[in-house]
């Protein structure tokens, strides 16, 4: 009864139905954010009774009972779909007796791969979802696609005024426009309790984000507790016990993220942004000089010492084993050359290497060595655009993250013309507060709006919302991120042509924001109004 082919193409009559629905049947269309690539829904609706509702695997599925990612997702989504449900007591509490006793089951089939351990950069997130009387058929190529489909199904279910649950007859064929849809959290400027990270991961899954970019250390503090170099956090964290991420904390975050189909990309930004590293690792940073004498202050990592690369190799070897994903963010942004310039040993090294007075060459030399270390560890490196801008030998680079303001699409074009992959972050810096009703500025972005070949455009692998930590911690993280980040999420997932109108998107986003509140996410208001269930977590 359930259709089989995930890749079944959109047919003419699907388009026709979609147009009808977009015009007349807004309720169900309202219900999903980000908007599926093709979405047909009918006014025919089916009541759902939590006591007769089941998730199940279809016989031909490659993933079956015992697949931890899906087994856990069934449990999680049951609660999300039926937020008011509490099992009826046998002693006769029939407050929740629901008139509808017809069973409904969501039948899942994963076509291609057996229950994978971790999502990868190539994992398919494509799924087909077809809701009809008594059942929903969810087909996907991977468990990660099945997770996206479950999220969509959960958003299709709604309650009427009496609290009864319904889902409309629907047919959805969906896949992301971009493979990399990330959120950066910065745990160096402020320490974020693990619980705040996990809650953000939950909210990310609701908007179908799939990458958590963990900017874990920076100048201000080094909360990552290294097995190899424990002094880095014991001396470089805000507090050596309470403001660190232990190995077990990191494993917990990675494992929690994987259950949501989210990859964790660690960033150990260098050679700049490393002041806190110097507290726990002697001779790592460059001593700055004033009038020929070491001033007692330190600059970027010292690129002239062999010991630097030994240290970085050991640290990165550990980090690579801790983070199972293939991407490793090396940073490389905002390197201040003045300290290097002041240091006579660095200058002598420059002469020896033939760099003259060009410190960009020194930076490129350092980064190339770090990239090589990373490549040898079988990881793909991501760097901030500075590295691309300053580097003449770009062949070692893989993925460039564009973050500067101004004509960021000009930069995207330069990077793809050089044959490198791009992640776009510039338009999505959400750390600075702004009026939420200006969410459209995050929505009205199209990363491919530059002139280039199809092949070049395929190099734009996605985008990222950055929530830098100078003025953000667990007190304001959620309202600053949500629902503004969801605007970016739709841009990165949905078909651009179907989601180019801010006016059409607004009612769906308002509806989605209310869903976030219902799920306990502190998503701030977009404008005047109300939700049926206001945020109660005060």
Give contact residues for its own copies (rule: CB under 8 A).
Answer: 189-191, 193, 195-196, 199, 220-221, 238-239, 242-243, 432-437, 469-479, 517, 522-530, 532, 534-538
Name the minimum Å distance from CB 184 to its own copies. Answer: 17
Cβ density class 318-349: b for 16+ within 10 Å, e for less: bbbebbebebbbbbbbebebebbbbbeebbeb
The CA-based angle 239-242-244, given to 5 degrees, is 75
Q: At 127, phi and psi to the nearest 5?
A: -150, 155
Q: At 135, phi and psi to the nearest 5?
A: -160, 155
Name the minimum Å distance from CB 440 to its own copies. Answer: 14
H/E stretch holding 121: none
Reported residue count of the chain is: 538
Cβ proximity to its own copies, 248 vs 475, nearer residue: 475
Cβ proximity to its own copies, 244 vs 422, nearer residue: 244
Name the minimum Å distance from CB 244 to its own copies. Answer: 11
Name the minimum Å distance from CB 486 to its own copies. Answer: 14
Name the minimum Å distance from CB 186 to its own copies. Answer: 10
Q: At 134, phi and psi to the nearest 5?
A: 80, -15
Cβ proximity to its own copies, 237 vs 285, nearer residue: 237
Cβ proximity to its own copies, 224 vs 323, nearer residue: 224
Of the candidates 44, 65, 334, 470, the residue annotated as catalytic is 334
Q: At 56, phi and psi to the nearest 5?
A: -150, 160
Nearest to 168 by CA among 24, 15, 57, 291: 24
Cβ proximity to its own copies, 187 vs 281, nearer residue: 187
How far apart, in whole angstroms, are the C-alpha atoms of residue 145 and residue 130? 14
Tokens for 342, please give them: 């002041």
Name the minimum Å distance from CB 434 to its own copies. Answer: 7
Specify whether the CB–CB gap between 486 and 514 falls below 8 A: no
Note if 334 is an active site residue. yes
DSSP label of 352: H
Tokens for 311, please give them: 């240290």
Name the minimum Å distance from CB 133 to its own copies. Answer: 32
Helix 143-156 × helix 194-206 angle, to 10°: 80
Cβ proximity to its own copies, 188 vs 381, nearer residue: 188
Cβ proximity to its own copies, 292 vs 435, nearer residue: 435
H/E stretch holding 336: none
CB proximity list for 515: less than 8 A, separation 6 or greater: 33, 155, 206
Q: Which residues are catalytic?
A: 334
């Amino acid at each position: 009864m359930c259709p089989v082919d995930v890749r079944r193409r959109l047919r003419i009559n699907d388009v026709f139905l979609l147009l009808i629905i977009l015009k007349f049947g807004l309720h169900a269309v309202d219900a999903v954010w980000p908007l599926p690539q093709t979405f047909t829904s009918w006014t025919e609706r089916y009541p759902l009774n939590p006591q007769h509702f089941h998730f199940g695997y279809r016989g031909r599925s490659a993933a079956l009972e015992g697949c931890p990612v899906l087994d856990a997702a069934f449990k999680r989504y049951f609660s999300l779909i039926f937020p008011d449900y509490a099992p009826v007591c046998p002693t006769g509490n029939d407050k929740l007796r629901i008139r509808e006793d017809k069973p409904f089951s969501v039948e899942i089939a994963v076509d291609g791969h057996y229950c994978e351990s971790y999502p990868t950069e190539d994992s398919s997130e494509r799924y087909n979802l077809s809701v009809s009387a008594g059942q929903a058929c969810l087909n996907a190529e991977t468990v990660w696609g099945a997770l996206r489909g479950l999220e969509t199904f959960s958003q299709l279910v709604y309650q009427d005024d009496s609290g009864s649950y319904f889902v409309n007859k629907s047919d959805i064929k969906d896949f992301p426009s971009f493979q990399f849809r990330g959120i950066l959290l910065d745990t160096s400027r402020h320490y974020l309790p693990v619980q705040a990270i996990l809650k953000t991961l939950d909210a990310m899954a609701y908007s179908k984000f799939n990458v958590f970019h963990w900017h874990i250390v920076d100048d201000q503090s080094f909360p990552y507790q290294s097995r190899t170099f424990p002094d880095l956090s014991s001396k470089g964290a805000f507090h050596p016990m309470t403001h660190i991420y232990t190995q077990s904390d990191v494993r917990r975050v990675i494992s929690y993220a994987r259950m949501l189909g989210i990859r964790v990309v660690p960033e150990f930004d260098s050679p700049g942004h490393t002041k806190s590293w110097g507290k726990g690792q002697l001779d790592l940073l460059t001593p700055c000089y004033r009038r020929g004498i070491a001033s007692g202050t330190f600059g970027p990592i010292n690129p002239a010492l062999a010991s630097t690369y030994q240290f970085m190799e050991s640290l990165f070897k550990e980090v690579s084993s801790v983070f199972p994903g293939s991407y490793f963010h090396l940073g490389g942004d905002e390197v201040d050359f003045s300290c290097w310039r002041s240091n006579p040993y660095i200058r002598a090294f420059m002469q020896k290497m033939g760099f003259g007075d060009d410190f960009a060459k020194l930076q490129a030399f350092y980064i190339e060595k770090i990239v090589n270390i990373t490549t040898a560890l079988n990881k793909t490196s991501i760097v901030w655009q500075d590295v691309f801008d300053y580097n003449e030998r770009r062949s070692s680079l893989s993925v460039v993250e564009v973050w500067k303001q101004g004509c960021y699409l000009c930069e995207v074009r330069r990077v793809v013309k050089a044959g490198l992959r791009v992640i776009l972050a510039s338009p999505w810096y959400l750390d600075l507060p702004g009026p939420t009703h200006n969410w459209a500025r995050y929505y009205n972005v199209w990363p491919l709006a530059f002139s280039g070949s199809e092949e070049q455009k395929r190099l734009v692998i996605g985008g990222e919302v950055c929530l830098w930590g100078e003025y953000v911690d667990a007190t304001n993280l959620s309202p600053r991120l949500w629902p503004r980040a969801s605007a970016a999420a739709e841009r990165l997932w949905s078909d651009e042509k179907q989601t180019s109108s801010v006016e059409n998107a607004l009612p769906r986003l308002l509806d989605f924001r209310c869903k976030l509140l219902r799920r306990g996410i502190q998503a701030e208001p977009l404008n005047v109004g109300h939700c049926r269930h206001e945020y109660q977590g005060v």
